[in-house]
Amino acid sequence: MRTIQNLLEPLQAKLHSGCTDAAIPEYAFGSDLMSDVLTLEEEAPMLITGLANTQSIRTAEMADIEVVLIARGKEVTEAMIDLAKENDIILISSPFSLYKICGILFQNGLKPLY
């Protein structure tokens, strides 16, 4: 089974919360608009976003999303990390752009929702 650990190196990503032994979600969805994330009906994807504030974590909580990836090297705040830990959300960040991250995840087999 491929795990979050397998994604950290290609994304040059840092883990802020959660366990890298968790399975990689089957799907991914990239958006800075949380209203868009809240309209998703399919299986909960990995969320890739440039929105680095607590609302991205709250949105993940409400939408049953288990992995949040913050793009573009945005600062991940203590409040975001605390909220992610409280809700068992894996929180990682990457210095790459949302576009590049999506490309890497697509190459690694994560599927789009639409």
User: Is the CB of 28 or the CB of 65 nearer to other proteins?
Assistant: 65
Task: Give the H/E segment covering residue 83.
Answer: helix 78-86
State the chain's maximal CA–CA distance in angstroms. Answer: 33
Quick one: DSSP state of residue 108?
T
Site residues for other proteins, window 5-44 (CB under 8 A)? 32-36, 38-39
Task: Kindly state whether residue 79 participates in binding other proteins, applying the rule CB under 8 A.
Answer: yes
28: its two tokens: 């991914």
Nearer to other proteins by C-beta: 72 or 108? 72
Quick one: DSSP state of residue 36? H
54 binds other proteins (CB under 8 A): yes
Among all chains, which residue has been given the structure tokens 């609302």? 55
Residues forming the site for other proteins (CB under 8 A) = 32-36, 38-39, 49, 51, 53-56, 58-59, 61-64, 79, 87
